[in-house]
Amino acid sequence: MQEILLPLYPWLKAGHIIFMVFWMAGLFILPRQMIYLHPYGAESPESDVWADRMGKLRKIILTPSLIVVWVLGLALMSAIGAHTQGWFHAKLLLVLILTGYHGWMVAKAKAMLRGERPLTDKQLRLWGEVPGIMLALIVILVVVKPF
């Protein structure tokens, strides 16, 4: 498998980075959209507009990017044997946590579209910082490879 993936490594890496950027952009946008939806009731015209936007974000950007990031990331791991290195284990843990965050935020967004308000504006603003923190930690692990 490695002999097939290694020549493709630069392309796999480029694709992984491109779709990681798309995924992160979606994770930055989703909490902001939830903040904009917060003051409106479930049956309001504004809620319908935000429901459409959040649905498109999820279906066109977030979920497809998440899948491609995982597929290409696992291919990269196989190509260079990263699964034997400590930095990769830490990165994988952070990506798993970020994937869980993705699912949790999507669930909260769907609850909001039903008229629930599971998080306050302030909580949404705080939770909106998670992707940036995780991204910084992941990039440091990949570039610096501290262990």
Cα angle 66, 71, 77 (rounded to 5 degrees) comes to 120
To the question of whether residue 16 is assigned a binding role by annotation, the answer is: yes
| Calpha distance 76→6 (Å, rounded) | 8
Contact 73, 95 (CB under 8 A): yes
| Calpha distance 128→56 (Å, rounded) | 19
To the question of whether residue 145 is assigned a binding role by annotation, the answer is: no
- Annotated binding-site residues for heme read 16, 91
- Annotated binding-site residues read 16, 91
